[in-house]
Amino acid sequence: MGWKTSKIEYVNGYKIVEVEGPVFKVFDGDRQLGDDFPYPGEAAAYANALPVRPPPRG
């Protein structure tokens, strides 16, 4: 048994996370948007189709 660190990428202000499977999920903060995607390109295309999310203030 082993574990894998999630891979995270940001597209259009949304977070795309790779989890076991591999499955790719699109998040706005802690809320998942859309379905689970089998390919990173599909998740990125979905994120690009959403309205641009402003960068976080800090």
For residue range 1-58, list pLDDT tens digits in order.
456 667 899 999 999 999 988 899 999 999 999 999 999 999 999 999 999 987 666 5
Instruction: Please say whether the beta carbons of 27 and 17 come within 8 A.
Output: yes
Instruction: Read off the amino acid at residue 4.
Output: K
CA distances from 29 to 3, 10, 14, 33, 54 (A): 24, 11, 8, 10, 12
Q: Where are the domains of the chain?
A: 21-58
How many other CB atoms sit within 10 Å of the CB of residue 33?
A: 15
The pLDDT of residue 24: 97
The pLDDT of residue 17: 96
Instruction: Please say whether the beta carbons of 47 and 39 come within 8 A.
Output: no
Is pTM, for the whole model, over 0.95?
Answer: no
